[in-house]
Amino acid sequence: MGLTLFYLATIAAYAVFQWEYLLKMDPNEFGDFLAGAFGPVALFWLVCGYFQQSAELRQNTRAIRLQADALEQQVIELRLSVEHQEELVRETRRHVDFATEDGTRRDLRELQRNAPVANIMRFESFALESDRLFTVTLRNDGASVVVLDVTSDQAAIDNVRQTPWETSKAVQMRLSKKAGFLYGPGVEVRATIHYRDHNGTLGTLVVSSVADNVEDGFQTARVVS
């Protein structure tokens, strides 16, 4: 800027001292004088503008590159954050699955601790012509429960309803033929014991007996579940 002012001052001083000569110039000569006088200034500022624009472009390029680096870093951080969140989700799922399995195991152990364990003490079968099929006596080697009912699709069962079944105590079931019952080899009679433990949880035990043949009928029984 100072150089430009100095140059303009020089042109002005020349014009003052050569005023009479400038007045005698033809218009085209005066235009050539002005072009020659101010052309270097215009060229100088054109060159300065070019270098200044080049510097601004370099700064803009540097700024864009820094923004690109910052965006790339943000992408990397976001990717790491997503991976971390996924790992947290997997870890949480593992904890939930473990807690669920552990809770299920505890519930199963609790049910087993509170469930009766039936063992057959005595089994008595009846003649084929009798209305009765067999009588089975079960001892409870597990927890004390209350027998609510005993049901069977093949037989009628009496004398076992709302019966306390305490530990080491026995309960007896008598099974009789239902209408239309037919003997045959392999015929199975199942009796389901419905009980309630001391926590109020309901459960079942199944006693099964299979006829070996028509002549002998039912000879043994077993606890299925």
Extended beta strands in 63-186, E state: 118-125, 132-140, 145-151, 155-158, 163-165, 170-177
- More confidently predicted of 35 and 86: 86
Cα–Cα distance for residue pair 2/204, rounded to 1 Å: 108
Which pair of tokens denotes residue 15? Answer: 């014009």
Domains of the chain, by residue range, sit at: 1-114, 117-223
pLDDT digits (tens, 9 = 90+) for 175-225: 998 888 887 778 889 999 999 998 898 999 999 998 877 566 788 889 987
Amino acid at site 131: D
| DSSP H helices in the chain | 2-17, 19-23, 27-114
Q: What is the Cα gyration radius of the chain?
A: 54
Note the pLDDT of residue 215: 67
117-223, CATH topology level: Immunoglobulin-like (2.60.40)
Note the pLDDT of residue 179: 85
Name residues whose C-beta falls within 8 Å of residue 119's C-beta, 6 or more positions apart in sequence.
138, 139, 141, 223
Note the pLDDT of residue 166: 92
Judge if pTM exceeds 0.85: no
Note the pLDDT of residue 29: 64
pLDDT digits (tens, 9 = 90+) for 140-152: 999 999 999 899 9
Coil/strand/helix, residue 65: helix
Note the pLDDT of residue 214: 59
- More confidently predicted of 139 and 112: 139
In the chain, pLDDT over 90 holds for what percent of residues? 22
Round the average pLDDT of the chain to a whole number and report it.
81
Note the pLDDT of residue 4: 63
